[in-house]
Structure 1
Amino acid sequence: MADTLRDRCRWPVLPEPYAGALRLAVEFTLAETEPLGIVATGTVIRGEAHPASDIDLYVLHDAPHRRRVQRFFQGVPTEIFINPPHAVRSYFPSEHRAGRRFTAHMLATGFVVLDRSPVVDQLRAESRGWLDRPDELSAADAQRARYAAATHLEDGADTTPVDGAVAALLLAGAVTQMLELFVRSRGRPIPRAKALVSEVAALDPSLGEMVSRFASATSPAERLDAAQQIGDRVLQARGFFEWDSGPEPVPSVVDSASPRGSA
């Protein structure tokens, strides 16, 4: 079976060691499962590789389980994601709500190495549809994200005079949260970490300059000042602010382990 499926594979044009690594990764996959389809994806496949870039393989199969494998092939780090189609369809809406469309992006931008079922093209078409949708960030979720970032910004300000290392970590986290919120507030999903700053700079060059100033700060005070300027622009806050979520329905949960729950 593996030999027959190997003969049906198509290969993207890649330089070494990626070309050989991809073939070995597919060989491994064919030995581990009977795939409906295999999609090679990621920066290596798109011709945007960095020195530490890996190959991603998205594998569709009929078995009722999912599996993730991380291995080196010819020294190239490779991540293999094995899923049944119904699981993939469940990832689309949940990742869309979270603003992180990993699955849709991998399938839509990948190269089909093996196609044994109509579901491969169906899922790729669905993935493109999800990518075309504007990001959905509710007012309540935006306010929670805003408050979380403001709290970390305030914690960074508190620790800057006494512990520069802790402050730097807190402020870096706060700035990342603010940038992700900024992107989502513009109706866009959160990009890959490597692309976050460039996307922010494209949307708002002035904010991009503030981020560059934060990243290149040479003192704790300069770092804090830059982070607070980002907070002023994105959050209109530098710390705690008043807000009220309003009444929110909560599910009724019965604890079956308790005497009352088992009655």
Structure 2
Amino acid sequence: MITTVAQTRLKAALPAALERITATPGVYAALWCGSATRGEATPYSDLDFHALVTGGLRWRSNFTVDGVPVEVFHNPVHKVRAMFAEEDAATITMFAQGRPVLPHPELGVLIDEARTLYAAGPTPRPLTEAQRFHLIEEVMDGRGVLNQPIHSLLALSAANQAVDVLYAVNGWWEVKRERWPADLAARSPEVAHELTAVLVATDARSRQAALERLVTRLTGDLSYRDGGSGPEPVG
């Protein structure tokens, strides 16, 4: 029921938001995106849009309509394509899953391109030695404060970093953290279980053990290896 009320509230604000967007000089197309387009709105959700603009400038704007926060990303087509080429997960996902509310042929082409990219997935990025070293350091820092209240904060920060790397290594499109449990449950139930164990642990030892299982999924073990960066000139 909460979701239905939230969806209704956002949809009611949609015409007024779109009217303001279309009145913006240079705007000729608009895409509605975000949680509301997926039917996942909460009472705290906002309205998100991508607007195509003429010229060579890009900007972001935000305003409210009947108490509903609205965020609009204004970009010329060539900048959107540049973000596609950079595999910008947020932009590709929004265009792949969004709904055109101010249609235009160029917007339609971008949506098709985004859907193709989204279906293919991002280029996997193998774990680097620097990332491996940093994750192991995070685990060891957790062990060092196992009996201190700060442990929960360190463990959650380390889990956050580990999951970010897991998405990159596996070639999965990034999603917002609040969607991690559901997204990971579909992609890898084992990873979802390990992350949940870190989040819900009521004692530090259980939390640390869950963190170490999550990290070693990436690092293989917790042993240090020789490494480092090459020499670089300094200014």
| TM interval, short-chain normalised | 0.7 to 0.9
Aligned positions of 1:43-192 closer than 5 A: 43-94=35-86, 96=87, 100-116=88-104, 118-139=105-126, 142-161=128-147, 163-165=148-150, 167-192=151-176
Q: Is the 8 A contact 1:149 1:175 kept in 2?
A: no
Quick one: distance in 2 between partners of 1:159 and 1:246?
A: 29
TM-score, reference length from structure 1: 0.77
Structure 1 residue aligned with 2:225: 242
Identity of aligned residues (%): 24
- Opposite residue 20 of structure 2, the aligned amino acid is F
Native 8 Å contact 1:44 1:53 kept in 2: yes
Question: 1:178 and 1:66, CA in 2 relative to 1: closer, same or farther beyond 3 A?
Answer: same
Contact 1:171 1:224 survives alignment (8 Å): yes
8 Å contact 2:125–2:168 — kept in the other structure? Answer: no
Preserved CA contact (<8 Å) 1:37 1:60: yes
Query: What residue number does 2:3 align with?
Result: none
- Summarize the Cα distance change of 1:47–1:216 in structure 2 as closer, same or farther, 3 Å threshold: same
* CA apart distance, 1:15: 4.9
- For residues 231-259 of structure 1, what are the alpha-carbon distances to aligned partners after superposition, in whole Å with 9 as ceiling and x for unaligned? 23332234x621436769x7x89x7xxxx
Structure 1, unmatched stretches of 5+, are 1-13, 256-263
Please state whether the residue corresponding to 1:45 is helix, strand or coil: helix
- Mapped partners of 1:237, 1:93: distance in 2: 34
* Partner of residue 206 from structure 1, selected from 166, 170, 190: 190
Question: Structure 1 pair 72/151, CA: closer, same or farther in 2 (3 Å)?
Answer: farther
Aligned residues: 230
TM (normalized to structure 2)? Answer: 0.85
Deviation at 1:164, TM superposition (A): 1.8
Structure 1's 33 and 149: CA in aligned 2 closer, same or farther, altered over 3 A?
A: farther
- The unaligned stretches of length 5 or more in structure 2 are 1-5
Aligned with 1:26: secondary structure? helix
- Counterpart-to-counterpart distance in 1, 2:7 and 2:194: 38
Shift of 1:80: 0.6
Change beyond 3 A, Cα 1:198–1:19: closer
Match of 2:212 in 1: 228
User: Which letter maps to 1:164?
Assistant: P
Distance 1:20 1:232, change over 3 A: same
- Residues 202-258 of structure 1 deviation map (CA, whole Å, 9 limit, x = unaligned): 3332332222222111122222122122223332234x621436769x7x89x7xxx
| Shift of residue 196, structure 1, vs aligned partner | 1.6
Q: How far apart, in 1, do the equivalents of 2:209 and 2:124 lie?
A: 28
